Structure 1
Amino acid sequence: MSHSNHKNKLTLLSLILMIFTSVFGFTNIARAFLLMGYSAIPFYIISALTFFIPYSFMLSEYGAAFRKERGGIYSWMDKSVGPKYAFIVTFMWYTSYLIWMVSTSSSIWVPLSNVFFGQDTTSRWSLFGLSSSQTLACLGIILMLIITFAASKGLDSIKKITSIGGTFVALANIILLVGAFIVLVANGFKVAEPITASSFFSSPNPSYQSPIGLLGFMVFAVFAYGGLESIGGLVDQTENPEKTFPRGIKIGAIIIAVGYSLGILCVGFFTNWAGTLSKSTVNMANAGYIVMGNLGYTIGEALHLSPDVSVNIGLWFSRFIGLSMFLALIGAFFTLTYSPIKQLIEGTPKELWPKKLIKLDDKNGMPKNAMWIQCIIVIIVIILTSLGGKSATTFLNYLILMSNVAMTIPYAFIALAFIWFKKNDSIEKPFVIYKSKKGANIAVVIVMITVTFANVFTIIKPILESRDYTSTIFQIAGPIVFMIIALLIYHRYEKITGKK
Structure 2
Amino acid sequence: MKQGGSDKKILWYSLAFMAFSTVWAFGNVINGFSEYGGLKAIISWVIIFAIYFVPYALMVGELGSAFKDAGGGVSSWVHETIGPKVAYFAGWTYWVVHMPYISQKPNASFIAASWAIFRDNRISSVNTKVLQIACLVLFLFAIWVASRGINVLKKLSTLAGSTMFIMSLLFIVMMMAAPAITNANVLDIDWSMKTFMPSFDMKFLLNLSILVFAVGGCEKISPYVNKTKDPARDFPKGMIALAIMVAVCAMLGTIAMGMMFDSNNIPEDLMTNGAYYAFQTLGQYYGLGNFFVVVYAICNLIGQFTVLIISIDAPLRMLLDCADENYIPKAMFKQNEYGTYTNGHKLVMVIVSILIIVPAFGIDSVDTLVRWLVKVNSVCMPLRYLWVFVAYIALKKAGDKFPAQYHFVKNKTVGMIFGGWCFLFTAFACIMGIYSEDRFQLILNIVTPFVLIGLGFIMPMIARRTNKK
What TM bracket, shorter-length normalisation? 0.7 to 0.9
Counterpart of 2:137 in structure 1 is: 138
Equivalences for 1:227-376 in 2 at 5 Å?
227-229=217-219, 231=220, 235=223, 250=239, 254-268=244-258, 270-273=259-262, 278=265, 282-298=269-285, 300=286, 310=287, 313-330=288-305, 332-333=307-308, 335-355=310-330, 357-358=332-333, 368-370=339-341, 372-376=342-346
Q: Root-mean-square deviation (CA), in Å?
A: 4.4
CA contact under 8 A between 2:46 and 2:247: conserved in structure 1? yes
Query: 1:126-181 deviations in whole A, cap 9, x for unaligned?
Result: 9xxx9554333222322333345355x4xxx4652342133123211231132023
C-alpha displacement at 1:108, in angstroms?
2.0
Would the alpha carbon gap of residues 18 and 106 (structure 1) be closer, same or farther in structure 2, given more than 3 Å must change? farther
Counterpart of 2:4 in structure 1 is: none
CA contact under 8 A between 2:208 and 2:433: conserved in structure 1? no
Would the alpha carbon gap of residues 99 and 455 (structure 1) be closer, same or farther in structure 2, given more than 3 Å must change? closer
Equivalences for 1:9-408 in 2 at 5 Å?
22-35=22-35, 36-121=37-122, 132-150=131-149, 153=151, 157=152, 160-186=155-181, 192-202=187-197, 211-229=201-219, 231=220, 235=223, 250=239, 254-268=244-258, 270-273=259-262, 278=265, 282-298=269-285, 300=286, 310=287, 313-330=288-305, 332-333=307-308, 335-355=310-330, 357-358=332-333, 368-370=339-341, 372-381=342-351, 405-408=379-382
**1:244 and 1:338 mapped to 2: Cα distance?**
35
Would the alpha carbon gap of residues 386 and 457 (structure 1) be closer, same or farther in structure 2, given more than 3 Å must change? closer
**2:346 and 2:230 mapped to 1: Cα distance?**
35
Specify the code of the residue in structure 2 equivalent to 1:84. Answer: K
**1:14 and 1:34 mapped to 2: Cα distance?**
32
User: Is 1:457 aligned to 2:432, yes or no?
Assistant: yes
C-alpha displacement at 1:334, in angstroms?
5.2
TM-score, normalising length: structure 2: 0.78
User: Is 1:441 aligned to 2:430, yes or no?
Assistant: no
Specify the code of the residue in structure 1 equivalent to 2:156. Answer: I
C-alpha displacement at 1:376, in angstroms?
3.0
Instruction: Structure 1: give runs of 5+ residues left out of the alignment.
Output: 1-8, 204-208, 301-309
C-alpha displacement at 1:118, in angstroms?
0.8
Report the secondary structure of 2:69's partner residue: coil
C-alpha displacement at 1:76, in angstroms?
0.9
C-alpha displacement at 1:387, in angstroms?
7.8
Specify the code of the residue in structure 2 equivalent to 1:430. Answer: Q
Would the alpha carbon gap of residues 392 and 382 (structure 1) be closer, same or farther in structure 2, given more than 3 Å must change? farther
TM-score, normalising length: structure 1: 0.74
Would the alpha carbon gap of residues 173 and 102 (structure 1) be closer, same or farther in structure 2, given more than 3 Å must change? closer
Would the alpha carbon gap of residues 386 and 422 (structure 1) be closer, same or farther in structure 2, given more than 3 Å must change? closer
Specify the code of the residue in structure 1 equivalent to 2:388. Answer: I
Counterpart of 2:393 in structure 1 is: 419
**2:409 and 2:453 mapped to 1: Cα distance?**
31
Structure 1 stretch displaced more, 314-323 or 46-55: 314-323
Query: 1:357-383 deviations in whole A, cap 9, x for unaligned?
Result: 447899xxx9x332x434333334566
**1:163 and 1:46 mapped to 2: Cα distance?**
31
Report the secondary structure of 1:487's partner residue: helix
Specify the code of the residue in structure 1 equivalent to 2:208. Answer: M
C-alpha displacement at 1:21, in angstroms?
6.2
C-alpha displacement at 1:415, in angstroms?
0.8
Would the alpha carbon gap of residues 31 and 455 (structure 1) be closer, same or farther in structure 2, given more than 3 Å must change? closer
Instruction: Structure 2: give runs of 5+ residues left out of the alignment.
Output: 1-7
Specify the code of the residue in structure 1 equivalent to 2:460. Answer: Y
Report the secondary structure of 2:402's partner residue: coil
CA contact under 8 A between 1:403 and 1:475: conserved in structure 2? no
**2:103 and 2:184 mapped to 1: Cα distance?**
46
Specify the code of the residue in structure 2 equivalent to 1:109. Answer: F
CA contact under 8 A between 1:106 and 1:139: conserved in structure 2? no
**2:104 and 2:314 mapped to 1: Cα distance?**
18
The sequence identity of aligned pairs, in percent, is: 20
C-alpha displacement at 1:457, in angstroms?
1.3
Report the secondary structure of 1:350's partner residue: coil
C-alpha displacement at 1:331, in angstroms?
5.3
Would the alpha carbon gap of residues 356 and 416 (structure 1) be closer, same or farther in structure 2, given more than 3 Å must change? closer
Query: 1:34-85 deviations in whole A, cap 9, x for unaligned?
Result: 4422211111111122222221222222223323223221111121222222
Report the secondary structure of 1:271's partner residue: coil
In the comparison of the two structures, how many residue pairs are matched?
447
Specify the code of the residue in structure 2 equivalent to 1:369. Answer: T
Counterpart of 2:445 in structure 1 is: 475
Would the alpha carbon gap of residues 374 and 243 (structure 1) be closer, same or farther in structure 2, given more than 3 Å must change? farther
CA contact under 8 A between 2:386 and 2:427: conserved in structure 1? yes
Query: 1:342-371 deviations in whole A, cap 9, x for unaligned?
Result: 331122213434557447899xxx9x332x
Report the secondary structure of 2:191's partner residue: coil
Query: Which of 384, 388, 393 matches 1:410?
Result: 384
CA contact under 8 A between 2:386 and 2:426: conserved in structure 1? yes
Counterpart of 2:5 in structure 1 is: none
CA contact under 8 A between 1:114 and 1:322: conserved in structure 2? yes
Would the alpha carbon gap of residues 480 and 173 (structure 1) be closer, same or farther in structure 2, given more than 3 Å must change? closer
Counterpart of 2:3 in structure 1 is: none
C-alpha displacement at 1:326, in angstroms?
2.8
Specify the code of the residue in structure 1 equivalent to 2:27. Answer: T
CA contact under 8 A between 2:74 and 2:90: conserved in structure 1? no
**1:279 and 1:400 mapped to 2: Cα distance?**
17
**2:206 and 2:356 mapped to 1: Cα distance?**
31
